Amino acid sequence: MNKKLFAAILGVALLLPFAAQAEGTYVKLGVGQSEYTDLSTDGLAIPDFKPTGVQLGVGISLDKTWDVEAGYIHFGKDDMSIIGDGGSGNLSLQTQAIYVAGIGNYAFTDSFSAFGKLGIAAHHSKANGSATIGTETFTDSESQTKVRALIGAGLAYQFTKEIAGLVDYTYYGKVSDGDFKVSLLSVGLRYNF
């Protein structure tokens, strides 16, 4: 198992007993489709990556309208083959992030609500690539850490007092010095203590 994912899961597990003592706290888990867009290398456009992403979060409800949330996201890893006029290559890309966000809630009914969020995320992206041009093969590896704003919106349905279902779209923008951007559309569950 990925060491960073294991550390995030362990961190959430260790926080659960403390969160259970504080009224208004919650934990959430979301799974969905990440999207890496505007990928290019040396002027060669690369099709969008759409791997499976996972999100873990812990939050506190300040009142019925406002929440504060922190969490971890693994946007997934994807591998791709690229074929061009002069050669071919392979690209592997993954991004992870930790984030803090303020969330505003608007209730349509007692069970159904919408939310918007605004915050910051620290992203760590890693890319590995190789290319073969003629008889020569080139390899390269790069990793970057960047802090960027995030913005998102979603819908929540409260099944019981403790459990809610979520649909969440969050846009993270450019997460490296390159032009590529990342977003995550997820479905998940939130457990309110």
At 46-90, the pLDDT tens digits run: 666 788 999 999 999 999 899 999 999 999 887 776 666 666 677
End-to-end CA distance of the chain: 29
What does the pLDDT read at residue 190? 96
pLDDT for 12: 55
| Helix, coil or strand: residue 190 | strand
pTM: 0.76
Q: Backbone phi, then psi, for 14, in 5-degree steps?
A: -75, -30
> Which single residue is written with the structure tokens 């019981």?
160
What pLDDT score does 22 carry?
61
Fold for the domain defined by 3-192 = Porin (2.40.160)
3-state helix, strand, coil in the chain (%, to 5): 10, 70, 20
Question: In this predicted structure, what is the pLDDT of residue 175?
Answer: 77
CA-based nearest residue to 152, from 48, 77, 55: 55
* pLDDT by 10-residue block (mean), the chain, 193 residues: 56 54 84 82 62 94 93 86 67 88 96 97 83 69 86 97 96 79 94 92
Return the pLDDT at 121: 94
Contacts of 164 (CB under 8 A, 6+ apart): 156, 157, 158, 189, 190, 192
Residue 151 CA to residue 170 CA, distance in Å, equals 6
Beta-bridge partners for 37: 181
What per-residue confidence (pLDDT) applies to 1?
46
Q: Which of 168, 171, 165, 166 is nearest to 153 (CA)?
A: 168
Q: Closest Cα to residue 6, out of 52, 45, 48, 56?
A: 56
Is residue 94 within 8 Å of residue 125, measured between CB atoms?
A: yes
Query: pLDDT at position 37, please?
Result: 79
- Please give the pLDDT value at position 13: 55
* pLDDT on residue 53: 93
3-state DSSP assignment of residue 71: strand
